[in-house]
């Protein structure tokens, strides 16, 4: 009874919020649902395709997590890996390039889509493959150079983009583009992320739940995220999570860009409605640049909350930082009385 009386209001709200309960429980299933035993590569996927460079071509919905995968690949691969937002096909694409398109659902009728750019890359002689996160269908479907992954029905699509970590690693390893056991490393990182996610679930009280603590810190404010350089790609992931799931305005910067943008705070009242969050690796702690910025802006911006992301490897840190972003944004949505699913307007903007 005493524990019930001592519960934070957010704990009570989440306990009564059926959508949050369902989504968070299913999120663990999402982290476990993709594995090698379910794959039967065929068509162009079954051909080894060595290349001088790899181009990851993503749409607005998938770009943040694909950029995070790229940051990890650059740390462990000798083959150059470039990430490109769908728009115009880069001029360097040619026969020595493997193009991996990555998008949320297929919209072949609209201009500038990943589907059309994949076709253009194929005409230039590139070896092209396309992963599509699809709303319908079975668990996955392979047709020649396309791989369609269906979504878990209980989890909003934007939260499921974390699955692309495993699928991109599996595809590049299958194609022989990058040497090394990418799948094994991602599987280990995903297991660590699952264990971490279990500490952030609805039944874990606020005083022990980092995601809930971030939500309380962010209540009624716009998010302002400052990310350490070793986790730079998390900036876009946190911003997208806040905008799409929490339905809240957010900005995000990574160092040293954040330090250069610091003058934007000068002259602003300290009580301006921003929830400032510094995100760094638990392994390395705050960098010198982060400490210098905090000192420089002392008294110029609201007191930041320091969030240390756990993980023994870069892949584990980036994946756990992504898990934390999604669950913290989900609890922020609960506090703000917003649904967790992305509305159609935001979905179209990110397509």
Q: 19 in a domain, yes or no? A: no
Nearest residue to 30 (alpha-carbon basis) of 179, 149, 169, 122: 149
Rounded to whole angstroms, how far apart are CA atoms 351 and 348? 5
Examine the domain organization and report whether 266 and 300 are in the same domain. yes
Nearest residue to 284 (alpha-carbon basis) of 257, 251, 319, 310: 310
Among 133, 153, 180, give the residue marking a domain's end: 180
Examine the domain organization and report whether 43 and 80 are in the same domain. yes
Q: 70 in a domain, yes or no? A: yes
Tallying the residues shown for the chain, one arrives at: 351
Examine the domain organization and report whether 290 and 269 are in the same domain. yes
Task: Say if residue 3's pLDDT is above 50.
Answer: no
Backbone angles phi, psi at 82, to 5 degrees: -115, 135
Q: 218-240 pLDDT, tens per residue?
A: 999 999 998 988 899 999 999 99
At residue 106, the pLDDT reads 47
Domain hosting residue 42, numbered range: 33-180
CATH at residue 149: 3.40.50.10490
Q: 17-74 pLDDT, tens per residue?
A: 999 999 999 999 999 988 876 677 777 777 887 788 999 999 988 999 999 999 999 9
Examine the domain organization and report whether 282 and 142 are in the same domain. no
Q: 11 in a domain, yes or no? A: no
Q: 146-204 pLDDT, tens per residue?
A: 888 888 888 888 899 999 999 999 999 988 888 788 999 999 999 999 999 999 999 99
At residue 213, the pLDDT reads 98
Examine the domain organization and report whether 116 and 166 are in the same domain. yes
Examine the domain organization and report whether 71 and 125 are in the same domain. yes
Tally the domains of the chain.
2
Token representation of residue 264: 């934007």
Task: Say if residue 109's pLDDT is above 70.
Answer: no
Examine the domain organization and report whether 84 and 227 are in the same domain. no
Task: Note the helical H segments in the chain.
Answer: 2-5, 9-16, 18-32, 63-76, 114-123, 157-160, 164-175, 182-197, 210-218, 234-244, 257-260, 288-296, 314-335, 344-350
Examine the domain organization and report whether 341 and 300 are in the same domain. yes
DSSP-based helix, strand, coil % in the chain, nearest 5: 50, 15, 35
> Considering the entire predicted model, what is its pTM?
0.90
* DSSP assignment of 15-43: HH-HHHHHHHHHHHHHHHS--GGG----G
At residue 78, the pLDDT reads 86
Token representation of residue 247: 């339905």
């Amino acid at each position: 009874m005493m524990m019930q009386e001592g519960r934070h209001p957010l704990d009570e709200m989440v306990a009564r919020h059926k959508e949050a309960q369902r989504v968070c429980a299913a999120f663990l299933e999402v982290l476990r649902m993709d594995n090698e035993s379910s794959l039967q590569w065929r068509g162009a996927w079954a051909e080894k395709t060595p290349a001088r460079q790899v181009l990851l071509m993503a749409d607005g919905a998938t770009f943040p997590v694909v950029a995070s995968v790229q940051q990890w690949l650059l740390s462990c691969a000798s083959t150059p890996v470039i990430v490109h937002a769908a728009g115009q096909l880069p001029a360097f694409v040619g026969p020595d390039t493997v193009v991996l398109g990555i998008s949320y659902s297929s919209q072949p009728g609209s201009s500038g889509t990943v589907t059309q750019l994949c076709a253009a890359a194929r005409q230039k002689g590139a070896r092209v493959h396309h992963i599509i996160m699809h709303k319908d269908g079975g668990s996955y479907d392979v047709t020649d150079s396309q791989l369609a992954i269906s979504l878990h029905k209980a989890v909003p699509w934007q939260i499921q983009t974390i699955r692309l970590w495993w699928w991109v690693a599996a595809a590049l390893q299958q194609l022989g583009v990058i040497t090394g056991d990418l799948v094994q490393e991602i599987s280990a990182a995903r297991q660590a992320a699952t264990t971490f996610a279990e500490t952030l679930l609805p039944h874990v009280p606020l005083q022990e739940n980092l995601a809930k603590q971030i939500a309380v810190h962010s209540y009624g404010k716009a998010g302002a995220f400052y990310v350490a350089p070793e986790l730079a790609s998390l900036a876009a992931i946190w911003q997208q999570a806040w905008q799409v799931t929490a339905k809240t305005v957010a900005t995000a910067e990574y160092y040293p860009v954040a330090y250069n943008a610091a003058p934007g705070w000068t002259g602003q009242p300290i009580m301006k409605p921003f929830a400032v969050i510094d995100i760094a690796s638990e392994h390395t702690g705050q960098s010198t640049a982060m400490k210098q910025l905090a000192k420089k802006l002392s008294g110029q911006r609201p007191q930041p909350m320091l969030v240390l992301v756990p993980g023994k490897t870069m892949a584990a840190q980036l994946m756990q930082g992504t898990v934390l972003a999604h669950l913290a944004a989900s609890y922020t949505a609960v506090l703000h009385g917003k649904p967790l699913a992305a509305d159609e307007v935001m979905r179209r903007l990110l397509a």
